[in-house]
Amino acid sequence: MSALTAVRFNPHINDLYNRLVNKGKAKMLALGAAMRKLVHLCYGVLNTQQSYDENYAIRT
């Protein structure tokens, strides 16, 4: 459920989802990739003890 919300409202997750669907991947596969990306984001936030910064990848 959180991956569906992220696909709708998080621009980075939405870009990932749309990129995979436009390549011809199944929508459930793209949703699974969005779930995996959310897990990695959550792990990074918990591991570094920093708040989520949506522009982090742009700065590096």
What confidence score (pLDDT) does residue 1 get? 82
Tally Cβ neighbours within 10 Å of residue 27.
11
pLDDT of residue 54: 80
Total domain count for the chain? Answer: 1
pLDDT of residue 52: 84
Are residues 43 and 27 in contact, defined by beta-carbon separation less than 8 angstroms? no
Q: Output the pLDDT for position 60.
A: 53
pTM over 0.75: yes
Give the C-alpha distances (Å, rounded to integers) separating 49 from 44, 45, 46: 8, 6, 5
The domain of 16 spans 2-59
Other CB atoms within a 10 A radius of the CB of residue 30 amount to: 20
Query: Closest Cα partner for 43 from 31, 35, 16, 10?
Result: 35
Tens digits of residue pLDDT in 11-33: 999 999 999 999 999 999 999 99
